[in-house]
Amino acid sequence: QKEVEQDPGPLSVPEGAIVSLNCTYSNSAFQYFMWYRQYSRKGPELLMYTYSSGNKEDGRFTAQVDKSSKYISLFIRDSQPSDSATYLCAIRQWYSGGYQKVTFGTGTKLQVIP
């Protein structure tokens, strides 16, 4: 079983739709959850991070974590064509020496159609 599972899509939605992107993880020791956005031929860029269960909102984006189900989600409201990208969930765990290890999901490719 992979540490982080993510539906690769692609996901195609009309402009203005609400988008839901999801990941599941296997290790309950994971504490810090991130969403990265990756445009074509670019490196991933951090979108949001959270380390607690519940919701965290930033503009049109909401990150949701359910630690009891080991499930994380990213919601995009009023989706725009500029949101077309691959969205990667990422999870941090700690090495025994206190260093962080960041593991990524496979990414979900999103296309927002004008």
* C-alpha span between 41 and 61 (Å, rounded): 23
* C-alpha span between 49 and 26 (Å, rounded): 19
Q: Pick one of 28, 29, 43, 114: the residue that binds other proteins (CB under 8 A).
A: 43
Cβ atoms 91, 102 nearer than 8 A = yes
Q: Pick one of 44, 64, 72, 84: the residue that binds other proteins (CB under 8 A).
A: 44
What is the DSSP code (8-state) at residue 81?
A: G
Site string for other proteins, 87-106 (x = CB under 8 A): -x-x----x-xxxxxxxxxx
Chain residues in the site for other proteins (CB under 8 A): 4, 6, 8, 32, 34, 41-46, 49, 51, 88, 90, 95, 97-107
